[in-house]
Structure 1
Amino acid sequence: MAEGQSPALLHFLAQRPRLRLLAYRLLGSNADADDVVQDAWLKWCRVAEGVDEPAAFLTTQVTRLALDRLRKDKRQARLGAQWLPDPWVEAVEPGEADLSTGLLLLLERLTPDQRAVYVLREAMDLDFADIADILGKSVATCRQIMSRARAALKGMPRYDWDAAQTATLARRFATACDQRDYAALVALLGTESRLISDGGGKVKSARNPILGPDRIARFLLGVRRKFQPADFAFRIAEINGLPALIGEAQEQIRWVITLGCSQGRIGGVYLLADPDRLPYSTISASE
Structure 2
Amino acid sequence: MRFDGIRDDPGNSDAAASFDPLRPLLTRVAYRMLGSVADAEDAVQDAFLRWLATDRREVREPAAFLRRTVTRLCLDQLKSARRTRETYVGPWLPEPLLEEEADEDDVTLPLMLALERLSPLERAAFLLHDVFGVGFDEVAATIGRDAAATRQLAARARAHVREARPRYRLEREKGLEIADAFFAASRSGDMQALGALLAADVGMWSDGGGKRPAADRPILGFDTVLKLHRSLAVLFGKYGSTLVRTGTINGLPGFITREADGEVQTTALEIEDGKIVAIYVVRNPDKLQHLH
Shorter-chain TM-score range: 0.7 to 0.9
- Residue ranges of structure 1 left out of the alignment (5+ in a row): 283-287
| Alignment pair present for 1:57 and 2:71 | no
The verdict on how the C-alpha distance between 1:170 and 1:237 changes in structure 2, with shifts beyond 3 A counting, is same
TM-superposed deviation, 1:75: 4.5
Write the letter of the residue equivalent to 1:183. Q
* Letter of the 2:232 counterpart: V
Identity of aligned residues (%): 35
Shift of 1:257: 0.4
Work out whether 1:11 is the aligned partner of 2:21.
no
Match of 1:277 in 2: 287
- What SS is found at the alignment partner of 1:270? strand
Counterpart position of 1:149: 157
The answer as to 2:79 corresponding to 1:71 is: yes
1:197 matched to 2:206? The reply is yes
The alpha-carbon deviation at position 19 of structure 1 amounts to 0.6
RMSD (Å) for aligned C-alpha atoms:
2.6
- Give me the TM-score of the superposition, normalised by structure 2: 0.86
What is the DSSP-based 3-state SS (H/G/I as helix, E as strand, rest coil) of the residue aligned with 2:269? strand
User: Per-residue displacement from partner, 1:138-196 (whole Å, max 9, x unpaired)?
Assistant: 22111111111122234558565422442232122112113211122122111221111
1:148-227 to 2 correspondence within 5 Å?
A: 148-155=156-163, 160-162=168-170, 163-226=172-235
Distance in 2 between residues matched to 1:207 and 1:264, nearest whole Å: 28
Amino acid of the structure 1 residue aligned with 2:214: S
2:160 corresponds to which letter in structure 1?
A: A
Q: Indicate yes or no: 2:22 matched with 1:22.
A: no
Tell me by how many angstroms 1:86 deviates. Answer: 0.5
For residues 169-228 of structure 1, give each alpha carbon's deviation from its aligned partner in whole angstroms, at most 9, with x where no partner exists: 212211211321112212211122111101121111001100012211222342353378
Q: Helix, strand or coil: the match of 1:276?
A: helix
Q: Distance in 1 between matches of 2:237 and 2:45?
A: 38
Relative to 1, partners in 2 of residues 1:114 and 1:169: Cα closer, same or farther, differing over 3 Å?
same
**What is the TM-score of this pair, normalised by structure 1?**
0.87
Is the 1:120–1:131 Cα contact (8 Å) retained in structure 2? yes
**Deviation, structure 1 residue 52:** 1.9
For residue 243 of structure 1, the aligned residue among 253, 271, 278 is 253
CA distance in 2, matches of 1:128, 1:53: 16
User: What is the CA–CA distance in structure 2 between the aligned matches of 1:186 and 1:70, rounded to whole Å?
Assistant: 39
Deviates more, 1:232-241 or 1:42-51: 232-241
Asked whether the equivalents of residues 100 and 247 of structure 2 are also in contact (C-alpha less than 8 Å), the reply is no
Whether contact under 8 Å (2:114, 2:160) holds in the other structure is no
CA distance in structure 1 between the partners assigned to 2:72 and 2:112 by the alignment: 19
More helix by share: 2
Contact 2:259 2:265 in 1 (8 A): no
